[in-house]
Each structure stands twice: as C-alpha cells, then as structure tokens.
Structure 1
Amino acid sequence: MSDEEKALRQVWVVQAERELEAELKFLGMAGDGNVDDMGDDELLSELEVLPP
C-alpha cells in the first residue's frame, strides 16, 4: 500500500468517525465525542438488536 493510499484511507476513517459521532448525537447516544468507546463486538451486538 502506497503512502498516498494510506493517507486517503485515513481521510475516509476520519470521515466515517465524524458521521458515526453525528449519528450517535442524533440518536441521543453521544458520549464525550470519542467514537472509540465501544468495541467492535459490542457495536455489532448493538446493531443486531435494531429492527431492520
């Protein structure tokens, strides 16, 4: 993976984190603004509970 590709992917990650933070705020689940509060397994288990 080139440095340019790594930089582009990092931009994507930052954008996704911002979108997730906005969604959490919209849903009334916003914490301290750190989207790393929930681990992957915990996030997946929470998503499975939501209706389609």
Structure 2
Amino acid sequence: MRCRMAKIRLRELRKEKGISMRELAKRSRVSKSYISAIENGESSPTVDIIANCVER
C-alpha cells in the first residue's frame, strides 16, 4: 500500500507544481524513465531520490 500511495502522491505533487517528468528527473538527477517507473508503481524511490526531489 505504501508504494501505491508514493506513486500516486508523487504524480499529484508533480502536477500540482506544474513540473514535467523530465524536469523532475533533471532536478532529482535520475532518468525520466525512472520517474515514470515510480509513478507507475514499477519501482520504489530510494531515500536519496526522495531527498533530491524535495531539495530542488
């Protein structure tokens, strides 16, 4: 359930802020496909990735 909430919340927050997947990937220092995988529940972000998303 946590992974599902993380993916939904990431997508919601990204869209609320008007940030594209490409921009979030750039800010987080990961690939766009990795952001997509997180949002689709295919991958779980590490603490470092979450921190990079928040800090930038």
Provide the TM-score with structure 1 as the length reference: 0.42
Tell which structure's C-alpha radius of gyration is larger: 1
Higher relative contact order, structure no. (Cα contacts within 8 Å, ≥ 6 residues apart): 2
Q: If the length of structure 2 is used for normalisation, what is the TM-score?
A: 0.41
